Amino acid sequence: MPSARSSDAPAPAKGGAGILKSAAVVGAMTMLSRVLGLAREQLMAHFFGISALKSAFDVAFTVPNLFRRLFGEGALSSAFIPVFGETARRKSAAEAFAFGARVLTLLFCALGLIVAVAVAAAFALERVAPEGSAWPATLPLARIMLPYALLICLAAILSGMLNSFGRFAVSSFTPLILNMVWIGAIFAAARFCGGDSPEAEMRRLEVVAWSVVAAGFLQFAFQLPALFRLGFRFALRLKGIFADEKIRRVLRLMAPAALGMGLVQVNVCVDKVLALWAADYAPAALEYAERIIYLPLGVFATAFTTVLLPAFTSMAAADEKAEIGEEAERAFRNLFFVMIPGTFIVLLLAEPLVHLLYSFKGGAFARDPDASLLAGRALACYAPGLAVFCAQKVLAPVYYAFQDVKTPLKISMGCLVLNVVLNVVSVILLPDGWKHTGIAGSTVVCSAVNGFFLFALLKRHGVRVRVKGVAPAALRFAAAAAPAAFAARWAWLSLPRLSGFVRIAPDGLPESKGAEAAAAACAFVAAAVVYFALVAVFSRKDAAAAFSAIRRRRRPRAGR
């Protein structure tokens, strides 16, 4: 029976002026987390380079990361949070917390069983893994890190509960814990597990793997005091758990989203395993490239598309299909304004970017003469994805607004098959040193195919996104971006040489990291000057609309 809310019970979060403050907190923490993530990967590059053992670690971490994205940050959270928030608003905080405890119990039991079986399977497979392959190193690391899958998913549910009550600071700080613990573990491993042998490197990676599990526990424990202050209490209670209608509702909401997200994550796992087949350095090279490419995607694409699903849902409910098409066109133009120049710059400066971010004097990455080249090739193949990946971020919310999860799911299934085929063909046909680039390129091609079908099938819902409303602006941005990227390349690679006082290494880049960073700054300034000058001449209205969109997203939005 619904209980009345006591006067001192915590109130669930509401809209209003507090949105701006909360968004600023979350945005700042997200940016800090991404910066720390890049620093973490820089340290991994410094101490481990693109070795076969680093690749084994990357493949091993893919499995617990899959569960994090599927259950922790994906389907389960998106199904749980609306039901939890509705319970807190319509009934009471106590009942919402009781429901949250039941979800935690179900997750702990179900995912704990899966993790236990996976750990046992890893133990068994270690005994039969062929000598000389990457699996004797990959399986022990995966076995160590598998419990992180359970811990981070529990932590994600706690974050959802805190966010529902407007406590964003603690939950938004939680992701930083992984990076901080990981960075500390790298230094500790380097200090106490010295040596240049493969055995010593494996011991260092095992220390890092155990730190991932420790970070998962800390991410869970860190949020408990804040929830306890709100009145939350947790105890494992399985009795009658499936009799709870809210539990059944969460499972119903979760099922289709989990299947769709699961396909995406299976795709990621397939990429990593096939990369291990392509070459022992391939997973590490792809991981370094992905870290760079997803930094601007995470900052800009998320900033532009955060409001699309609620906006499209509101328009769909009001049968404003023409308005949905117009909003999607604006989103495309706004994203292309940023991502198209990014694509050209990354494409032309892939190897120097990799060298700047990962190659530090005395490190394993710098000692390998091919590391920057191999990771740079992967980054260049990922570069078109800066523009291509945005299509899914704009178009998929249209289908979800009409509660159509089947169409994106069917398209994802087809793209999964295509991705596997392209990856296998790439690994078989491409020459050594290039096989991993086929895996990166396949990801971009499949995303483009996915976006094409999402675009083409919008008419099923009566939504029309005009090609002529997007393509001309994209072409104008590309026409301005190409000269800007060449200006950046000239500034980065030629100015230090022309200056006469910078020592140049045999690879054509400045020997000093400070000089290299200065050259990169000059390159980006040159690109910005050329790009904005040309856009001001040829595409002023589109640029003004993009800047206006950014300003609107910085202010609280009034209801429709």
The reported pLDDT for the residue numbered 560 is 38
Q: What is the CA radius of gyration of the chain?
A: 24
pLDDT at 549: 53
The pLDDT, as a whole number, for residue 6 is: 44
What pLDDT is stored for residue 408 in this prediction? 83
Region of 67 on the Ramachandran plot (φ > 0 left; ψ -120 to 50 alpha; else beta): alpha
**C-beta separation of 315 from 324 below 8 A:** yes
- Residue matched to tokens 């003469």: 369
* pLDDT over 50 at 357, yes or no: yes
**How many CB atoms are located within 10 Å of the residue 333 CB?**
23
pLDDT above 70 covers a percentage of the chain that reads 84
Q: Are 439 and 423 in contact (CB under 8 A)?
A: yes
- The residue with greater pLDDT, 93 or 311, is 93
Tokens of 188: 């500790």
In the chain, domain spans = 51-233+243-254
Which residues lie below 8 Å from residue 123, measured CB to CB, with a gap of 6+? 143
pLDDT at 406: 79
User: Residue 557 above 50 pLDDT?
Assistant: no
- The reported pLDDT for the residue numbered 3 is 41
Q: What is the pLDDT of residues 389-418, one digit of tens each?
A: 888 778 888 887 787 877 887 888 888 889
Q: Which of helix, strand or coil describes residue 167?
A: coil
Query: pTM here?
Result: 0.84
Among 523, 540, 538, 542, smallest CA distance to 484 is for 523
How far, in Å, CA of 285 to CA of 431, rounded?
A: 16
**CA 294: distance to chain centroid?**
6
Average pLDDT over residues 499-518: 78
Contact call for residues 515 and 495 (beta carbons, < 8 A): no
Give the mean pLDDT of 303-316. Answer: 65
Residue 326 pairs with which residues in a beta bridge? none
3-state SS record for 244-276: CHHHHHHHHHHHHHHHHHHHHHHHHHHHHHHHH
Task: Give pLDDT tens digits for 45-94.
Answer: 999 999 999 999 999 998 888 777 666 555 676 677 778 888 888 888 88
CA 260 to chain centre: 16
- SS3 of 513-560: the string is HHHHHHHHHHHHHHHHHHHHHHHHHHCHHHHHHHHHHHHHHHCCCCCC
Task: Please tell me which residue, 261 or 129, carries the higher pLDDT value.
Answer: 129
Among 179-188, 209-218, 533-542, the minimum mean pLDDT is found in: 533-542
**Confidence band, pLDDT 50/70/90 cuts, at residue 559:** very low
Q: Are 253 and 400 in contact (CB under 8 A)?
A: no
pLDDT in tens, 191-250: 999 888 899 999 999 999 999 999 999 999 999 999 999 989 877 777 767 777 888 887
pLDDT of residue 15: 44
Cross-strand bridge partners of residue 504: 510
Question: What confidence tier does 182 reach under pLDDT thresholds 50, 70, 90?
Answer: very high
Within 10 A of 179 (CB to CB), how many other CB atoms are there?
Answer: 20
Which residues touch 543 (CB under 8 Å, ≥6 apart)?
A: 337, 532, 535, 536
d(CA 540, CA 520): 27
Judged against a pLDDT cut of 80, whether residue 426 lies above it is answered with yes
pLDDT digits (tens, 9 = 90+) for 146-163: 999 999 989 988 988 888
In this structure, what token pair is assigned to residue 401?
Answer: 């607004």
- Residue 424's pLDDT band, with cuts at 50, 70 and 90, is very high
Q: Which residues contact 357 (CB under 8 A, 6 or more apart)?
A: 38, 42, 292
Quick one: pLDDT at residue 558? 39
Using alpha carbons only, give the angle 288, 293, 298 rounded to the nearest 5 degrees.
120
- Between the alpha carbon of residue 82 and those of residues 77, 173, 274, 302, the distances in Å are 9, 22, 38, 20
Query: How high is the pLDDT of residue 352?
Result: 94
Closest-CA residue to 142 (of 174, 120, 175): 120
Residue 391: per-residue pLDDT = 80
Map residue 557 onto helix, strand or coil. Answer: coil
pLDDT in tens, 4-50: 444 445 655 544 444 446 556 666 777 788 889 889 999 999 999 99
The larger pLDDT score, comparing residue 541 to residue 116, is at 116
| Per-residue confidence (pLDDT) for residue 205, from 0 to 100 | 97
Q: What does pLDDT average to over the chain? A: 84
